[in-house]
Amino acid sequence: MGIIQKQAVRNTVIQVAGNMFGAITRLLMPLVLSAAEIGVFQILDAISGFFKMVFNLGFIQVLLRLFPKYRNEEKGHHGFLAFGIYISLIGIAFSYTLYYLLGTGFWVNANDENYILVQSFVWLVIPRVFFRILFVNIDGYVRMLFNSVIGSFLESLVIKIVIATGVLLFWLTYIDYSAVVYFYMLAFCIPGVVIIIYALAKTKKITAPAPELYAKENRKQLSSLMLFGMLAGASGSLVLYVDTYMVANLISVEAIGIYGTLFFAARLIIMPSRAINAIANTVLAESWKENDMDNILLVYRKSCLNQLLLGGFLYVLGWGLIESALSFSVKFNEYSDHLYVFFFLGLSVIIEMATGTNSAVISTSKKYRYNTYFILILVVVLIATNFIFIHYFNLEGAAMASAVSVFIVNLIRWAFLYKTYNLQPFNGAFFKTLLFIAGMMCLAHFVNISDNQIINLLVKGFMLTTVFWGGAILLKLSPDINDWLAKIRNVILRK
């Protein structure tokens, strides 16, 4: 097994374990913490995440384009490690300056009843930004040394274990809420410390950046890569965090705690698409190289259908069981009042999955820059729809804004691919699957098995699973899934 395959297997195991661990911890947090206390975590995540994505100064793009040219162990890779640290420190300085200029009032409404709570802990953004920027840049350097496992382990598993430890200790009354916040901050600092130590240990010769790295002939390319990286980071961070910022400002800190928890639950729906997209990217890149438009269309079409079916099942199951799941504690009452936040956030995920690998098709083509333009459009639409929908529909409005915005930008991507490359992924099987999922959503919503919520949770979950997959197989919605099940049956029969 080659190095790529070995690391891919290890990364997959780490990510699956991390996702499971993180999901259990995150979904149990409402039992231990108030919505406002969870809201503080969401705000710290949003602020530090924004600065991390913008002020890493595009070093990852620099690594991808320039590092192979200067790879040389005996020469310390021409000082690329030190170069990454220098760029990170400059980005951190820019972050601190902007953070100081904006102040706490920019992120949270000063009239909010929990403003003082946020203000008490918002200074923890300072160490988090420092170590998160260092982590993302130095982890990029370590990956260029053909080790992607250490970074994945730190980010996917270690962070979640430290956070879970803090929540557990709080639940056992060994620590107070302040200590939980410090655990949360520590969780994001540890990876930065460890990755720097690891990078120093793995670099044979530590040297200052070689003069040729920033020589006159490289400056234009270096500036372009860094600028494009910052633009992409700014756009991506706004997509991720604009709703957090707007809910915190237009509604309340408590509301962002509720929204963030339901957002996390809805995002679990998208997990199956990550494996599909990871494989599809490589296939699409090779197909563009060979100008194999038939295979590109096939991958595009199959990704839309299969992701819609897999995501649709999780969406149906989530919508059918969420009310029962939230009935086990009075602490879930404030979340039960906003079930349609999950509905609309889940709908936005389904739209994203149903449009398949459209973003990957564009990013692997010669017109890859259009993806950045489409992200910018998404940012504008998100801001506009959040302002409008939050005003009229409160917290549910933010979720509706997400669904509408994702629909619009994916409609634009579809039109672009259809007009530019004549790629049409939607066929009769896709629309049949869409109608089937809509019918299953009605079944999940209107059918209750028992007034006993435990029985309802177990029996209804089993019923929805059986009916969904039984119907999908009988209707032959996905030939790929039917073929896969046939192979499993054949293997069992041979035994």
Residue 1: the pLDDT is 45
Q: How far is CA 175 from CA 10, 159, 189, in A?
A: 35, 19, 20
Residue 128: the pLDDT is 92
Can you read off the two tokens belonging to residue 184?
Answer: 């949360």
Asked if 232 and 60 count as a contact pair (C-beta separation under 8 A), the reply is no
Dihedral (CA of 8, 10, 16, 21) sign: negative
**Cα 179 → chain centroid:** 27
Amino acid identity of residue 213, one-letter, is: L
Q: Which of 456, 338, 454, 352 is nearest to 402 (CA)?
A: 352
Residue 276: the pLDDT is 65
Task: Give the other-Cβ count within 10 Å of 475's Cβ.
Answer: 13
Asked if 467 and 313 count as a contact pair (C-beta separation under 8 A), the reply is no
Dihedral (CA of 57, 61, 63, 65) sign: negative
What is the chain's pLDDT, residue by residue, as a tens digit (495 residues)? 445 455 555 666 776 677 777 777 777 788 888 888 888 888 888 888 889 888 888 888 777 777 777 777 777 676 788 888 999 999 999 999 999 898 877 888 888 888 888 888 889 999 999 999 999 899 888 887 877 778 878 887 888 889 888 988 988 889 999 999 999 899 999 999 999 999 988 888 778 777 777 777 677 777 877 887 777 777 777 777 888 888 888 888 889 889 988 888 888 888 777 666 656 666 777 788 788 888 889 888 988 998 999 899 999 999 999 888 888 777 788 888 899 999 999 999 999 999 988 888 887 788 877 887 888 888 889 999 999 999 999 999 999 999 999 999 999 999 999 999 999 999 999 999 999 999 999 999 888 887 777 888 889 999 999 999 999 988 888 887 777 767 766 766 665
Residue 336: the pLDDT is 87
**Sequence-distant (≥ 6) Cβ neighbours of residue 441 within 8 angstroms:** 315, 316, 319
| Residue 205 phi, psi (nearest 5) | -135, 115
Instruction: In whole angstroms, give the CA distance from residue 369 to residue 202.
Output: 35
Dihedral (CA of 212, 214, 219, 225) sign: positive
Instruction: In whole angstroms, give the CA distance from residue 383 to residue 233.
Output: 17
Residue found by looking up tokens 């889940």 in the block: 346
> Cα(first)–Cα(last) distance of the chain, in Å?
28
Instruction: In whole angstroms, give the CA distance from residue 85 to residue 196.
Output: 9
Spell out the SS3 assignment of the chain.
Answer: CCHHHHHHHHHHHHHHHHHHHHHHHHHHHHHHCCHHHHHHHHHHHHHHHHHHHHCCCCHHHHHHHHHHHHCCHHHHHHHHHHHHHHHHHHHHHHHHHHHHHHCHHHHCCCCCCCHHHHHHHHHHHHHHHHHHHHHHHHHHHHHHCCCCHHHHHHHHHHHHHHHHHHHHHHHCCCCCHHHHHHHHHHHHHHHHHHHHHHHHHHCCCCCCCCHHHHCHHHHHHHHHHHHHHHHHHHHHHHHHHHHHHHHHHHCCHHHHHHHHHHHHHHHHHHHHHHHHHHHHHHHHHHHHHCCCHHHHHHHHHHHHHHHHHHHHHHHHHHHHHHHHHCCCCHHHHHHHCCHHHHHHHHHHHHHHHHCCCHHHHHHCCCCCCHHHHHHHHHHHHHHHHHHHHHHHHHHHHHHHHHHHHHHHHHHHHHHHHHHHHCCCCCCHHHHHHHHHHHHHHHHHHHCCCCCCHHHHHHHHHHHHHHHHHHHHHHCCCCHHHHHHHHHHHHHHHHC
Amino acid identity of residue 292, one-letter, is: D
Asked if 258 and 338 count as a contact pair (C-beta separation under 8 A), the reply is yes
Residue 141: the pLDDT is 87
Q: Which of 139, 131, 159 is nearest to 202 (CA)?
A: 139
Asked if 364 and 422 count as a contact pair (C-beta separation under 8 A), the reply is no
Instruction: In whole angstroms, give the CA distance from residue 443 to residue 285.
Output: 41
Asked if 96 and 126 count as a contact pair (C-beta separation under 8 A), the reply is yes
Residue 435: the pLDDT is 96
**Sequence-distant (≥ 6) Cβ neighbours of residue 108 within 8 angstroms:** 43, 114, 115, 118, 119, 248, 249, 253
Q: Is 151 exposed, middle or buried (0-12, 13-18, 19+ CB in 10 A)?
A: buried
Residue 329: the pLDDT is 76
Domain boundaries, the chain: 1-243, 251-495
**Sequence-distant (≥ 6) Cβ neighbours of residue 6 within 8 angstroms:** none
**Sequence-distant (≥ 6) Cβ neighbours of residue 71 within 8 angstroms:** 77, 144
